[in-house]
Structure 1
């Protein structure tokens, strides 16, 4: 198991950290660590620049010498981000030049020990040598001129920062091997049942990587102990990854599992009391490293914004999901009805996932929970035969054609599977850019029902045929 490395953005206020964060993540949909008592938060996102996968942390303006108030809390957040990171990008301002705060931050970073890249921001339109000259005095190696706002030098910055830490992302041949089919080949494929027998292969010999995630004190550790203890199997730890994660292996019947444990882990570097209970980075990494996530919620408290953020990251990562609402025992009916309404209101985007109401402490509902894990895993890795996908697509269109856009109606010719975990269905045809989200949800619902894809997100992509004569037309 290889976790994505963590990049922390550090610097004094107004040097462009958030602008760089936005560019690295290509969105503002970052997970926020909303620990109680912390007035300024770290923002987490998934890096989408260059060929290396990574996680990125945006921090507030760093004032290392402040002893009290909001700025002190922001400094604590930045120190925690540095402790969690594999590499720190220290941003300075090319137009403002070096100041005393830059020297203080540089001294602190040298003591902290992570790999440091000095990025001189706002260098657009400036001579590179002049933009970086005075920053050599910080003693952090060769300064790299960039522009967060315009993107100048950003891709090279990330490539250099991560080159020694990870392997480049290589496109899966499974997702790119399917080319346009001619009509004769398509009809021949539809006329046969070739591939039908293997389309429901469920990977029975595959070890299921399972992440148990949730806020502090929702019962994650208790659930892990119950899963292992009730089965009375030998469990063993496999420490030694770069992030001090622990893998716990166990078996039930003919199923093999590896729990990626995010609770009670040893921490690198300096930590704080509130962070010892819950590490956002470890949770994000566990989600990305697993096949199935069990999201644990606390029935005795409200469903928080933090719960929704974690759920959103699971959905974005494409991981299969089972929801466990814990501490269900002992609640009266009014309280149970209230938490069900809360979940439906705040987590309606998880409609594909099964929900279990459990007591991890008493073991109630845990057996059924594990059954749903198996089913979600099978759905995530299910093979979908092109003939059956295409027949279902045509049946869906016949029952409800896509709406017209102007005088044109989108025409969908065939569908094939482009990937697994999550299942990806690629639909080929003409004028498919006109298909709206509502019709896309209709197709998704249809495919889910026919191919039994409950428990996993799925993706649908449209690829329109090109007109070879378009550019030559006068």
Structure 2
């Protein structure tokens, strides 16, 4: 499994699909994906947010970003949809600009083309709804948008889509020579995550020993993740500073929405996440959601409580009670109390990161694991339910990074018993700083012939 992980391309470029309402953007997205994924309706403005999909062509993977209709003169909800599209363009590596060739270039199309030329991004001009040779002349007329060759396609029927995708792939940036192979001696990758204005950029600057990231009291100053090579404990680490997550994705707008997507992408690239929490404020729902994102992504976890220098004894007592009450599911995560502003105890992050990564990569030999489980089940058997008592016959650790265990059982193990097994595994073997997955394979009773 580790060999497979090592070969993954960590950099996935983004292709944004933009255009005014009802030109067939979502139909084109579905055509590229080869499945009906994006909502298509003959009503302008059905796609309100940017929606990301994994796509590939000619051996290159990329993220396809379907955006709402773009109208520079829009107001109200339409203006917010336009803002979503603008953010999508800002974060994209390549832009596909879709125009309805049967209508021709409208004033809105020309305004969008002007913005795209100014963006400096590679733009692929898509002349959509060219269903046959008779439409080629309409497509050729779009040369006047000064965005290069118009690619005549029919998103509905697939005509010309191959040539279009060849052009998209040719415009993608080269993937950096980065590897997931830890044994190769590359720097460990750390995602620095947390809600807005919690001090992530300040902490990164303190770790780097210089001001590399813009710091502002306005929440959400950092929009894109910024990779920084930082020397800590005599070693180099790759830190990914991410924009803060504020609200649930569907409630967020503009830069916040995309920040949450980029944070998820940063977790995919990372091995361990440092979740920065403002210790001077009560634990918030956003903090818990970000921690859940890390656990669900299967990444090693370190909790860093920032602004510790601002706490008095009363707040520290209250915080401990909040941690006991709200962070019970991640008691295994190392905790570090720091001050990003003064640099107090930031050096302790190294030990916490090492501990979490060690747990993340830990493996128990099969013999030792089954000896442990045999004693555990003998001392604490599963409760009898409905006259039956399921038991664990055998177990194996199927994977690491994070540790994954498969329990071969005679019946269904209740969630509470699986949590008990996990807790005892941690007590006996450590696994500090890492989520753990326990799955079951239930033995099927053989039918008598």
Question: Do both proteins adopt the same fold according to a TM-score greater than 0.5, normalized to the shorter chain?
Answer: yes
Residues 251 and 257, structure 1, Cα contact 8 Å, conserved in 2? yes
CA distance in 1, matches of 2:399, 2:319: 36
Structure 2 partner of 1:191: none
Deviation at 1:375, TM superposition (A): 0.5
Deviation at 1:55, TM superposition (A): 5.3
Quick check: 1:81 aligned with 2:62? no
Residues 235 and 250, structure 1, Cα contact 8 Å, conserved in 2? no
Pick closer, same or farther for the CA change 1:445–1:102 going to 2, 3 Å: farther
Output one character per residue of 1:87-122: Cα deviation in whole Å (capped at 9) or x when no partner. Answer: 5577899xxx9996995797478645456597999x
Output one character per residue of 1:397-425: Cα deviation in whole Å (capped at 9) or x when no partner. Answer: 33333456656544433222222221111
Deviation at 1:279, TM superposition (A): 4.5
| TM-score of the aligned structures, taking structure 2 as reference length | 0.64
1:260 to 236, 239, 264: 239
Quick check: 1:214 aligned with 2:194? yes
Deviation at 1:56, TM superposition (A): 6.2
Residues 203 and 341, structure 2, Cα contact 8 Å, conserved in 1? yes
Structure 1 partner of 2:380: 400
Structure 2 partner of 1:448: 426
Pick closer, same or farther for the CA change 1:361–1:109 going to 2, 3 Å: closer
Pick closer, same or farther for the CA change 1:208–1:408 going to 2, 3 Å: same
Structure 1 partner of 2:406: 426
Pick closer, same or farther for the CA change 1:110–1:315 going to 2, 3 Å: same
CA distance in 2, matches of 1:375, 1:206: 18
Size of the alignment, in residue pairs? 389
1:64 to 68, 72, 81: 72
Quick check: 1:3 aligned with 2:26? no
CA distance in 1, matches of 2:80, 2:193: 26
Structure 2 partner of 1:177: none
Residues 85 and 114, structure 1, Cα contact 8 Å, conserved in 2? no
RMSD over aligned Cα, in angstroms? 5.5
SS of 1:329's equivalent in the other structure is: helix
Structure 1 partner of 2:345: 365
Q: Which runs of 5+ in 2 are unaligned?
A: 1-8, 34-46, 143-148, 158-163, 214-223, 244-253
Output one character per residue of 1:304-354: Cα deviation in whole Å (capped at 9) or x when no partner. Answer: 554444333222221111111111113233434444555556555433322
2:279 to 272, 286, 299: 299
Structure 2 partner of 1:459: 437
Structure 2 partner of 1:311: 291
Pick closer, same or farther for the CA change 1:61–1:110 going to 2, 3 Å: closer
Greater relative contact order (CA < 8 Å, ≥ 6 in sequence): 1
CA distance in 2, matches of 1:344, 1:160: 55
SS of 1:141's equivalent in the other structure is: strand
CA distance in 2, matches of 1:351, 1:91: 50
Deviation at 1:386, TM superposition (A): 1.0
SS of 2:368's equivalent in the other structure is: helix
Q: Which runs of 5+ in 1 are unaligned?
A: 25-39, 122-127, 148-156, 173-201, 238-242, 265-273
Output one character per residue of 1:214-238: Cα deviation in whole Å (capped at 9) or x when no partner. Answer: 3443222332343354xxxx9999x
| TM-score of the aligned structures, taking structure 1 as reference length | 0.61
Quick check: 1:248 aligned with 2:229? yes
